[in-house]
Structure formats: C-alpha cells, structure tokens
Amino acid sequence: MERQVTAVREAGLRCRVRAGEHEFVVDEPASVGGTDQGPQPTDMLLGAVASCFTIALSYCAARRGLAPDPVRVEVTGTYDGPRFRSITVSAVVGGVSPDELARLTAEAERVCYVTNTLRGGPEIEVRTSVADGGTGR
C-alpha cells in the first residue's frame, strides 16, 4: 500500500499541499523569507507525530471499550542543525487508570505509523527532472 502527497510552490516559499481530497498551505515564517501563511514543514512533521499518536491512543482505547477524555498530545522537537536531534511526545489522557494508560501507551506505540516510521529511519530517495519546456537553468 502506498500514500502520495503533492506540494506545488505558489509563490516565494509558500506551497499548496494536496493529500487525497484535502489541501492545505505550508509556508515559512517571515524571518526566513516566507509569508507565514501556513505552518512550516517542521511544524507539519511534529503535527503528524502529535495527531497520529492521538489517533493511536484513541483507537487502542476504543478497542478496549474505553472512552478517554481528554486525549491531548504535545510534541516537542529539538533542532540540531538541519534536523531534529530529538522528538518528545507527551500525552495527557483522562478517564483511565494509570495501569490502563500504561497499556494504552504501549499499544499506541506499536500501531502509530508516524512514530514507527521516524524510529525506523526510512530510506529516502530523491528524484528530480526538468519541467516540460524547461531550459535547465
């Protein structure tokens, strides 16, 4: 199974991203030449971790017949040059016991696609080509 997402630059550093039937804007802050009209790519990455882990916790809870409320996940990334050195996932879950939360957390860690992908360090292949009519400049 594959997923595909497409980004097209609209102007400056701002781009429109299409994922299935959904579209959103990704940009950089003005301090680095963007127009700050959307989250920056690194925020999207951290948001992917936070949302996927929130979904994983909720999914695992539902499978156990639990209905936790709230389920809030905060993710912090620490930069080291052009990459994150570390990513910390902090979850606050209500309506469950400490033992239930420990089991849910372990299950969520097993099923969360995004954290599992980042932990595995996937191979990334970059391919480029000149657009039709391009001059190569």
pLDDT in tens, 109-131: 999 999 999 999 899 999 999 98
Query: Sheet harboring 14-19: ordered strands across?
Result: 5-11, 14-19, 22-26
Per-residue pLDDT, averaged over 24-37, amounts to: 96
Label residue 134 by pLDDT band (50, 70, 90). low
CB 112 within 8 A of CB 56: yes
pLDDT in tens, 36-90: 999 999 999 999 999 999 999 999 999 999 999 999 999 999 998 999 999 999 9
Q: CA torsion sign, 10 to 13 to 16 to 18? A: positive
- With H, G, I as helix, E, B as strand and everything else as coil, classify residue 49: helix
DSSP 63-122: HTT---S-EEEEEEEEE-SSSEEEEEEEEEE-SS-HHHHHHHHHHHHHH-HHHHHHHH--
Residue 30 pLDDT exceeds 70: yes
